[in-house]
Amino acid sequence: MFAALLSEVSIRSIALFWVIFLTLLVFLKRRKNLPPSPSGSWPVVGHLLSLGRAPHLKLTEWRKQYGDVYTVRMGMEDVVVLNGYRAIKEALVDYKDAFSSRPNNYVLNIVSGSGKNIAFSKFNQAYKEKRKFAYSALRQLGMRMGPGSMEENIRDEARQLCLKLSEQRDAQPRDIADNLTVSVANIICSMVFGKRYDYDDEKFLELSKIVNTLVAQVGSSQLMSVFPYLRFIPGVNSSNRILVEFTNEVLAFLRQEITRHRETLDHDNPRDFIDLLLIELQTHGKTDFTEENIEWILQDLFIAGTETTVTTLQWGLLYMVLCPEEQQKVQAELDSVLGTDHGVPTLAHRSQLPYTEATIMEIQRIRAIFPLNLPHAPNEDTTFRGYDIPAGTQILPNLWSANMDPEFWPDPAKFDPRRFLDSDGKVVTRPESFLPFSTGRRVCLGEQLAKMSLFLLFNSMLKHFTFKLPEGATIPSTDGQKIKDIKPGTTGTHDPFGIRSQSSSKDEVRNKQESL
């Protein structure tokens, strides 16, 4: 009986302890002074169930009710969401010293050696040096003129791409994503290794496959970022294994290239990105930036630079297919400026091709490939708009909400390149509420390269081909809900669609292959 009484007392004490503990927890949480939070957060999972498969849409919808800055619970973690151009710019530009770090993220730590690269590095001295080195190397390569310049390398890829597409012209309708991936990955290879690979080079195909799988795996492992303990569950931990294995394979490949470069390095004649980084490191060696960082930075360029550009091109072609009148306008402008003399355009044509330029901007506005940007975090406890945001809190700048904001973009779901033209028909420079590459300290490092690649590849394809859906095909959806696997920090892809690339007007490839 005594034992029974004791156990009853113990149970009561334990229950009482939990009541007090949970009350204190709730009380302390309330005192955090975080931005408001939507209702409907569940224990353990938080708002995850409400966010669904296209969180950027739900987060944009919540903006109407909870304002530009609010807090959601991702699992057990508070995440502050920034909506609309003003709040995003204020945080990332006006408060750039505060909001330039990255949060801890289990999956991103695996693929970045816990921040040894640039993209997922915390904001510290080492980050500043890595970014400065990489930025200056990209600039030097970008400024080279003539053969071997970045522009010439991209034009060369554009020629190869058009040749490949013309070989496949009479074949079955196809998803040309693989061709685009080869072109874009080769642009990075030319820049980083100083060489390109053939379309059927096994080593190159293997590298592309590994990089693609890695990017896809990061996308599908986001639940593990929220609940890292899932990695101990059999079945789920296979994605953990793939992430580790493939990251190591990419690094091993890059290490070989770095060794090859070091052995043949000529300080007076840097050939490519690796040479420039090695020289920079040897001449101005810094303690916070070592040779190990070089391989992680190179991996950054492949991971951040390939799928992003390919997905944008795919969206572009899809919109051209769905809006044939826009496709015709772009082709008419290309024809009027390039005539039949130029196989592929040059960057010098840019200023003469405003409609084409505006079309590429509209593609990037209407389908932001990083709708929720990469996650940011405050470097230290920060007061923002009257709220107290602790250091390390995950911040999601909802780029989608800016790019699709009806205040800046009337009828935002309509594909209309004219939004980016002024009354004189010139391209509006630096339009507000247009943030495909984000803004502030962590703005995309490859923005210039990406813009060059998009311009030269997109226009070369439209110069030589008209893109159509196969006869009888179901019209692919561009509904944001259909963008698959969009999670913070990953790119989204639309459903694969078969595109038939056809010669324009006269049923022939527009320019003969010799002129390509």
The total number of residues shown for the chain amounts to 516
Do the beta carbons of residue 378 and residue 389 sit within 8 Å?
yes
8 A C-beta contact, residue 301 and residue 272: no
User: Any idea what DSSP says for residue 477?
Assistant: P
Tell me the residue type at 199: Y
Q: Which of 37, 183, 221, 309 binds ligand HEM (CB under 6 A)?
A: 309
Chosen residue from 111, 258, 304, 363 binding ligand HEM by CB under 6 A: 304
Site string for ligand HEM, 116-135 (x = CB under 6 A): --xx-----------x----
Please tell me whether residue 456 binds ligand HEM under the rule CB under 6 A: no
- Among 341, 363, 345, residue whose Cα is nearest residue 353: 345
Which of 374/456 has CB closer to ligand HEM?
A: 374
Q: In whole angstroms, give the CA distance from residue 44 to residue 40.
A: 12
Q: Take residue 361 and report the two structure tokens written for it.
A: 């901007």
Task: Please select the residue that binds ligand HEM; options are 212, 222, 356, 373, rule is CB under 6 A.
Answer: 373
Q: Which span sits near ligand HEM by CB under 6 A: 39-47, 83-91, 284-292, 445-453?
A: 445-453
* Contact status: 444 vs ligand HEM (CB under 6 A): yes
d(CA 428, CA 326): 19
Check residue 283 and give left, alpha or beta (phi > 0: left; psi -120 to 50: alpha).
alpha
Q: Does 445 bind ligand HEM (CB under 6 A)?
A: yes
User: Taking contact as CB under 6 A, which single stretch among the options 67-75, 298-306, 345-353, 469-477 is the one that binds ligand HEM?
Assistant: 298-306
Q: How far is the CB of 475 from ligand HEM (least distance, A)?
A: 25
Question: % helix / strand / coil in the chain, to the nearest 5?
Answer: 55, 10, 35
Provide the minimum distance between the beta carbon of 188 and ligand HEM in the complex, in angstroms, as a whole number.
6
Q: How far apart are the C-alpha atoms of 119 and 100, rounded to whole Å?
A: 11
Q: Is 81 in the site for ligand HEM (CB under 6 A)?
A: no
- Least separation in angstroms between CB 488 and ligand HEM: 11
Q: Which of 450, 462, 469, 486 binds ligand HEM (CB under 6 A)?
A: 450
162 labeled part of a ligand binding site: no
CB of 312 to ligand HEM, least distance (A): 4
Cα 305 to Cα 170, 189, 335, 448: the distances in Å are: 31, 11, 30, 11
- Six token digits for residue 298: 């190179």
**Is residue 436 at the binding interface for ligand HEM, with CB under 6 A as the rule?**
yes
For residues 132-165, one letter each, b for 16 or more C-beta atoms within 10 angstroms of the residue's C-beta and e for the rest, the string is: ebbeebbeebeeeeeeeebbebbbbbbbbbbeeb
Applying CB under 6 A, does 312 fall inside the site for ligand HEM? Answer: yes
Stretch that binds ligand HEM, among 37-45, 277-285, 297-305, 492-500 (CB under 6 A): 297-305
Residue 177 has which token pair? 């994503």
- Taking the complex as a whole, the smallest distance from the CB of residue 309 to ligand HEM amounts, in Å, to 5
- Rounded Cα gap, residues 504 and 269, in angstroms: 44
Which residues, listed in sequence order, are joined to residue 140 by a DSSP beta bridge?
A: none
Q: Looking at 69, 165, 427, 449, which residue binds ligand HEM (CB under 6 A)?
A: 449
Q: Residue number with the shortest CB distance to ligand HEM? A: 446
* Out of 370, 400, 434, 465, the residue judged to bind ligand HEM by CB under 6 A: 370
By CB under 6 A, tell whether 189 contacts ligand HEM. Answer: no
Q: Which helix (H) or strand (E) holds 215?
A: helix 202-220
Annotated binding site: 444
Contact footprint for ligand HEM (CB under 6 A): 118-119, 131, 188, 300-301, 304-305, 308-309, 312, 369-370, 373-374, 436-438, 442-446, 449-450
Residue ranges of the annotated binding site for heme are 444
